[in-house]
Amino acid sequence: MATAETAGTRAPAWRGGFGRLWSAAVLSSLGDALRTAALPLLAVSLTDDPLLIASVTACGHLPWIVFGLLGGAAADRVDQRRAMWAVDLLRGLLVAAFAVAVALGHASIGLLIALAFILTTLQTLFDNAATALLPSLVPPGALGSANARLMTGQRLAGGLLGGPAVPLLLTAGAAAPYAVDAATYLLAAALIASLGRPAAERAPGPPGSTLRREIAEGLRTLVRDRVLRALCTATALCNIGIGALLATLVILVTGWLGAGETGYAAALTAYTVGSLAGGAASGRLVARLGRARSVLLAGSVQTAALLAMGGVRHLGALLVSLAVFGFMGMVWNVNTTTLLQERSPAGMLGRVSSAHRTLGVAGTPLGALLGGALAAAWGAGTPALLAAGFFALATAALIPVRRPDVPVGAPDDGATTAHVHR
């Protein structure tokens, strides 16, 4: 094993394991986008009860809060490659069965809720295993670039290709988006299984070790490391703001700005285009500023973009603000994930990443409720201003780690030295 270097920006080799992992991730994102766009349309055709329709989306987030920590602990116990292809195989079979049910006219709201809950529950293991597997597929100096390419590819497939393809697929039948989604899962499973890498070496756990103790160890590691603690706090605050923004963006665009469905589609496109540009530029920012300062810059600029969204009543200003917000959001995501991978101790990345994700996701439903309440009381522009406040707090939480990246070989506050598998 080799100690992770924080500032490396080398590009990963496409041939070999990373290329197949990238292809699998992009395929899965395309399928997820198809299903995510098609499910609400199917739900509306089955019921006109807003609470039941919202429950489908809610059950797509709930498992992260309930099972996120458990998924991370499991990812550290098993061969991540095998866990990932097994999960994708199971998800492919489940979605294929669902497609058959839709084709035969047996779909129901209860079935949609159950599918959303089960798929996200499986995703808690898959995503944590993927985060833990990546450092074994690329050299430490290429980790940041690998994360940028993964996230950019996923955003391209999910944001620009998946959603627009749904209306075309629906012309072939209501089951078509789910059949394609199932196929992407099965292809992704085959790609990951073809990696053929042996299980990473893991030190045996202490006598009497349990999942509960291992989860607690991951939480302690996250809390003790100054950089990871600040990143987790900042991410949780940001997600409260993002929850408020996402829950009310359609109201802001179609109501406050009067831009209709076309304006809403343009807003989503502006965000996606900005995100893609951010993924391409992240490496250059890191080379100039360092990873921690790049995250600090991203939070500061996103705060300003949110103030413009909530304070300037003009569609053009919103589109520019969303593009900037997406650009810096990708810079944030790439570098927080890379810092997490670089600083987490060997054999604990699954648990540390799951703790980070779970604590971060927990704020999103709260933000959605706050955003809805503010929009109802004071207008559609106020949730964006609320989000700006939370992003400002998140940026302030990062100020203690603004100095150039802390050496991973000498972690702060008693955290264990971070290593990655090569």
Give the pair of three-digit tokens for residue 318: 């919103």
pLDDT for the residue 32: 81
Please give the distance of CA 228 from its chain centroid, rounded to a whole number. Answer: 17
Q: How far is CA 280 from CA 11, 142, 148, 203, 322, in A?
A: 12, 14, 7, 37, 17
pLDDT tens by residue, 365-408: 778 778 888 888 888 889 899 999 999 999 999 888 766 444 44
pLDDT for the residue 407: 43
pLDDT for the residue 327: 95
Q: How many CB atoms lie within 10 A of CB 378?
A: 12
Q: How far is CA 28 from CA 82, 178, 287, in A?
A: 16, 12, 30
CA nearest to 157, candidates 31, 338, 45: 31
Q: Is 74 helix (H, G, I), strand (E, B) or coil?
A: helix
Rounded to an integer, what distance in angstroms lies between the CA atom of residue 318 and that of residue 42?
30
**Domains in the chain: boundaries:** 13-198, 214-410
| Strand ranges inside 196-292, DSSP E | none
Q: Which residues contact 29 (CB under 8 A, 6 or more apart)?
A: 153, 154, 155, 157, 158, 162
Q: Which residue has the tokens 């490659």?
A: 81
* CB contact burial 281-320 (16+ within 10 A = b; e otherwise): ebbebbeebbbbbbbbbbbbbbbbbbbbbbeeeebeebbb
Tell me the fold of 214-410: Growth Hormone; Chain: A; (1.20.1250)
Helices (H) and strands (E) in the chain, counts: 16, 2
pLDDT tens by residue, 204-227: 455 556 767 777 887 788 788 888
Q: DSSP code of 141?
A: G
Q: Which residue has the tokens 């603004």?
A: 402
Rounded to an integer, what distance in angstroms lies between the CA atom of residue 384 and that of residue 372?
11
Q: Are 304 and 162 in contact (CB under 8 A)?
A: no
Q: Are 8 and 286 in contact (CB under 8 A)?
A: no
Amino acid at 372: G
Q: Are 383 and 229 in contact (CB under 8 A)?
A: no
pLDDT for the residue 98: 94
Class of domain 13-198: mainly alpha
Amino acid at 104: L
The H or E element containing residue 333 is helix 315-343
* Beta-ladder partners of 2: 420
pLDDT for the residue 163: 67
Q: Which residues contact 47 (CB under 8 A, 6 or more apart)?
A: 53, 109
Q: Which residue has the tokens 């006219």?
A: 105
Q: What is the value of pTM for the model shown?
A: 0.72
Report, as ranges of residue numbers, the positions in the chain whose pLDDT lies below 50.
1-8, 198-200, 204, 404-422
